[in-house]
Structure 1
Amino acid sequence: MACQHGSGRLAGFRIDGYNLKLEENGGFVGDRVRSRAFAAVLDGLRRSACDAGPDPLGSVASDDRPALDKILEQEGTAAARLIGQAVERYATEFAEVVRRFLATREWAGIEAVAVGGGLRGSRLGERAIRRAEALLEAGGHPVRVRPIQVDPDEAALLGAVHLRPADVPGHEAILAVDIGGGNVRAGVVRPGRGGSRAAEVLLREHWRHRHERVDRDEMVTRLTTMLASLVHRARHEGLSVAPFVGIGCPGAIRADGAITCGTQNLPGNWQEAGFNLPARVAASLSSIDDDEVRVILHNDAVLQGLGEASRMCGYVRWGVLTIGTGLGNATFTSLTSVSLSEEPSGERPLAHAGSA
């Protein structure tokens, strides 16, 4: 099967939908649990604590997750109790957001939810996610909600191996990109080999663009520079890289590679008529070892979910939520778990929202 941008069908999986936007009070339900939401909850608790005495966290910033994780280990202290309260409040919000997704037609029948993104990479984030699962079960929604098991910085890069077209020449590794509202990650990824070896990120580059004054075209230029650097590094280490790049990007992706919505957290207009990210990247890289480079673009939450796919083989329908500058989401059906009589023929149209 020929792979196209934003495809709804990949080997072994059907992508039932992604980029679902649940509106609420002029915003979106997912905004209640995006990356900055936990810090906002903790800030509120700190202000209340300061009314009765000194701030238990002192000079520690509410978004300094490594420092907060260390304090959380100091059980019994006022600071640890305060962070625990924030975790409980955030978990309650997260459980409600998951419940709202499960109530939609697109998420009906979801058995498990993998949670990725930056917050998952912290101990307090993992505790909040697992607490949300317990709250959902207590409320009559027995769905598995767990942090993704791979490094959150690598999940989408690992998922990109599923985008590689069958007719791309065989090599040891591929190039992969994960574009987010605050970061761009790129890597050289070695695909897995069935059950004998899992996919692995061999080389990686990371650029935090959130606090830099860059526009869209500068981001694309920096991205292609990162990829060229990775190709050079791979050659130096004797790695054979395929002439292929798999890219994950926020938003709804058309078959021609255009992005129709969902890029509000990226600088500049990524939905501008005539702008085509995969074409730009392919033109900039031109070729790898004299082979023309092919680029396939898909939604970033889809790729994060695919990066966790091998651990979801026990479920027929499952979803992913990625906590970042927004809340990315996607739902999947594992075709290996579906009988031929249940699986419709042909490409299934994706159910993703058309508004951002």
Structure 2
Amino acid sequence: MSDVGLSLLHDHLDGGLRVATVLDIADSIDWQLPTTEPSALAAWFTAGAASGDLLQYLATFEHTLAVMQTEEHIERVAYEAAVDLAADGVVYAEVRFAPELHQQQGLSLDAVVAAVTAGFRRGEAEVRAGGADIYIGAILCAMRTEQRSMEIAQLVDRLREDDDKVLAFDLAGAETGWPPSLHAEALEFARERHLNITIHASEPPDLELISDALAHGAHRIGHGVRLLADMTIDDGEITSMGPLARFVLDRQIPLEMAPTCHVHVGAVPDIASHPIGPMLRAGFDVSVNTDNRLMSAVMPSTEMALLRSTFGLTDDEVRQLVRNGVAAGFAPIERRREILASL
């Protein structure tokens, strides 16, 4: 593995908790977990993700969200995310969360975001004190099955003036039957206010969701693996592309790929069938991401190592994947240029 630092654009805060933290907070709030044995609980989370059953997968988040309902607990989880990612070699990270999911005990949206960004800053400071470095920012998600997308877009717009950790707006949650067009008003506001926009597009109806996300102003596509339906791959090489794939390639639309997650959600049968290797070599702007570190039992370094061994990536190709992530980031260009110069 190259010694180049790693980048991360697509990682969910409520999908990346330490098992020990889940156990500790659950005990303090008297929350009932499936098991209190650490290795068994870790296996339970992973089994839910790997089951192929969306309901079982979503059930895992009931427990992580339950322990993220106070400012203290949210700040702790965010702090640990920054420290854990830095320890794994990540130098640039964007971590996303849905503020509306952290209001079960009455926290305001502003308080939720403030707790997250405070945790990120504390983590960054500790990492720097130890002689390393990481930049970590926040993407705020609106749940596409709910009716609060305008509220969240306005939250991003308001908070970015006071908190430079608030980077972008996202639509997350169930996708099939919930296209971006259902949130056209919020997305129009985001475009008018020049917000950074990334939109999840990882479920059926495949190309329609990706196209709809682009039509509504997405600067990046969350996942985008189902673009595979618009190309032909023979012997590891893309031999033909349809109009959407060609547009994404020609316009260099960044795709936030999370290969292990894509296997878990059934987008591809296995890592070898994933298009990220052929797409990288064809010049697509793809990056390597984790989605949910706890549920998929992955870290950025293990995901990169898996792709390197599966596709025979060279050091230069690994470096390109990392650079793609930093270059496509939503942090100020000056900060990203500093990081790119160090890679």
Q: Give the alignment's TM-score, normalised by structure 2.
A: 0.37
Higher helix proportion (structure 1 or 2): 2
* Higher relative contact order, chain-length normalized (CA < 8 Å, sep 6+): 1
Higher strand proportion (structure 1 or 2): 1
Rg larger in 1 or in 2?
Answer: 1
Q: Give the alignment's TM-score, normalised by structure 1.
A: 0.36
